[in-house]
């Protein structure tokens, strides 16, 4: 059920956006930017206290902000189904969906459904939620899906598609490889969904926010000191700066019809060669099929 909220605008709701993980870091700034742009913002998050604090903050900071929260853990399939049902009950269409929530877990954990929890949170949850919300997005067309990926996709481990969410130790290469895999899956998902939505008026793009000072890396050793050094350089961004690319893709006119891209705001990333997987349609299709099976969607 929706929690909080600030004001009811008569019969019409105006533009509606949903942002996952909008209670901290980049997601909160995306929610703030969308509220400023006049959107009614639905935040999907898992912590009731942080949800209430976020609504309070955004309503205080943004005159006329309309913010509602929908509680659920994206790593848990039943929660995602429940959140999607609440959103469908509350809204009759959707203009923007930002799949932002994500974690960088240092050690392997198993999700409630028996998958690697980082992959479940970062990929399977958004995959299922987005699929469940396609009807609302089609009703809102022209509408947009923005998937928060990362340049970290370049560090993905070699994985078998059929085992993309299999739990297991993170091994000597550590969590960075599995986090990288989750971010690669984000881009492959966005590319495949963009193709599937061609002609529907729903665009789908993945973005990278750059390196941003948030809570994401709190558990990763060395990042404290490295972060402190980096934060003295223009390389490390504030969450508000990190939100800019996602907001651009969500709001600017030029992205009303552009779809299927990966838009990185990391300085110099444009000079790096494209990772092979991003050009591999068969892989994108196989990832889609396997993810569908894992979350219980028909593989069409």
Ligand X SMILES: NC(=O)c1ccc[n+]([C@@H]2O[C@H](COP(=O)([O-])OP(=O)(O)OC[C@H]3O[C@@H](n4cnc5c(N)ncnc54)[C@H](OP(=O)(O)O)[C@@H]3O)[C@@H](O)[C@H]2O)c1
Q: Indicate which residues carry an active-site annotation.
A: 179
* Shorter beta-carbon distance to ligand X: residue 182 or 203: 182
Q: State the nearest-atom distance from the C-beta of 74 to ligand X, in Å.
A: 4
Nearest to 148 by CA among 230, 240, 218, 249: 249
Contact between 215 and ligand X by CB under 6 A: the answer reads yes
* Shorter beta-carbon distance to ligand X: residue 86 or 121: 121
Contact between 73 and ligand X by CB under 6 A: the answer reads yes
Maximum separation of any 2 CA atoms in the chain, in Å: 57
Q: Are 69 and 56 in contact (CB under 8 A)?
A: no
160-168, 194-202, 213-221, 289-297 -> range binding ligand X (CB under 6 A): 213-221
Contact between 140 and ligand X by CB under 6 A: the answer reads no
Q: Which residue has the tokens 């970062």?
A: 122
Q: Which of residues 104-133 bind ligand X (CB under 6 A)?
A: 121
Contact between 212 and ligand X by CB under 6 A: the answer reads yes
For residue 143, give the H/E element and its range: strand 143-148
Cα→Cα distances 274→188, 263, 271, 280, Å = 13, 12, 9, 11
Q: Crossing angle, helix 25-36 and helix 48-61, to 10 degrees? A: 40
Annotate 281-292 with b (16+ C-beta within 10 A) or e (fewer).
Answer: eebbbbbbbbbb
Of the candidates 102, 123, 202, 288, which one interacts with ligand X according to CB under 6 A?
102
Contact between 241 and ligand X by CB under 6 A: the answer reads no
Of the candidates 175, 209, 250, 295, which one interacts with ligand X according to CB under 6 A?
209
- Strand residues in the chain grouped as ranges (E): 16-20, 40-45, 66-71, 96-99, 143-148, 202-208, 211-212, 236-237, 262-264
Of the candidates 15, 32, 46, 132, which one interacts with ligand X according to CB under 6 A?
46
Q: What pairing do the DSSP bridges indicate for beta strands 96-99 and 143-148? A: parallel
* N-to-C CA span, the chain: 30
Number of residues lying near ligand X (CB under 6 A): 27
32-40, 203-211, 221-229, 268-276 -> range binding ligand X (CB under 6 A): 203-211
Of the candidates 216, 287, 294, 295, which one interacts with ligand X according to CB under 6 A?
216
Of the candidates 6, 16, 19, 24, which one interacts with ligand X according to CB under 6 A?
24
Q: Are 213 and 239 in contact (CB under 8 A)?
A: yes
* Shorter beta-carbon distance to ligand X: residue 129 or 197: 129
Q: State the nearest-atom distance from the C-beta of 187 to ligand X, in Å.
A: 11
The token pair at 127 is 């995959």
Q: Which residues bind ligand X (CB under 6 A)?
A: 21, 23-27, 45-47, 50, 73-75, 100-103, 121, 148, 150, 208-209, 211-212, 214-216
């Amino acid at each position: 059920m929706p929690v909080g909220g600030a004001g009811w605008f008569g019969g019409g709701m105006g533009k509606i956006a949903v942002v996952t993980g909008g209670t901290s870091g980049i997601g909160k700034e995306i929610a703030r930017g969308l509220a400023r742009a006049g959107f009614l913002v639905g935040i999907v998050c898992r912590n009731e206290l942080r949800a209430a604090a976020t609504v309070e903050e955004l309503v205080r900071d943004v005159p006329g902000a309309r913010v509602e929260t929908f509680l659920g853990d994206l790593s848990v399939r039943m929660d995602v189904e429940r959140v999607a049902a609440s959103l469908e009950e509350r809204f009759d269409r959707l203009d923007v969906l930002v799949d932002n929530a994500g974690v960088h877990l240092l050690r392997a954990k198993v999700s409630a459904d028996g998958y690697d929890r980082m992959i479940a949170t970062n990929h399977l949850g958004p995959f299922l939620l987005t699929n469940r919300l396609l009807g609302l997005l089609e009703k809102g067309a022209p509408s947009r899906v923005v998937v928060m990926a990362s340049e970290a996709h370049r560090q993905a481990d070699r994985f078998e598609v059929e085992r993309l969410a299999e739990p297991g130790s993170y091994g000597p290469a550590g969590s960075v490889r599995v986090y990288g895999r989750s971010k690669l899956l984000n881009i492959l998902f966005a590319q495949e969904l963009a193709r599937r939505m061609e002609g529907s008026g729903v665009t789908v793009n993945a973005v990278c926010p750059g390196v941003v000072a948030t809570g994401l890396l709190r558990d990763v050793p060395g990042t404290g000191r490295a972060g402190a050094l980096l934060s003295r350089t223009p390389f490390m961004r504030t969450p508000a700066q990190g939100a800019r690319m996602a907001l651009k893709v969500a709001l600017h006119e030029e992205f009303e019809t552009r779809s299927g891209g990966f838009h990185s705001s990391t300085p110099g990333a444009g000079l790096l060669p494209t990772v092979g997987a991003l050009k591999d349609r068969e892989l994108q299709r196989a990832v889609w099929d396997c993810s569908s099976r894992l979350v219980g969607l028909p593989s069409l």
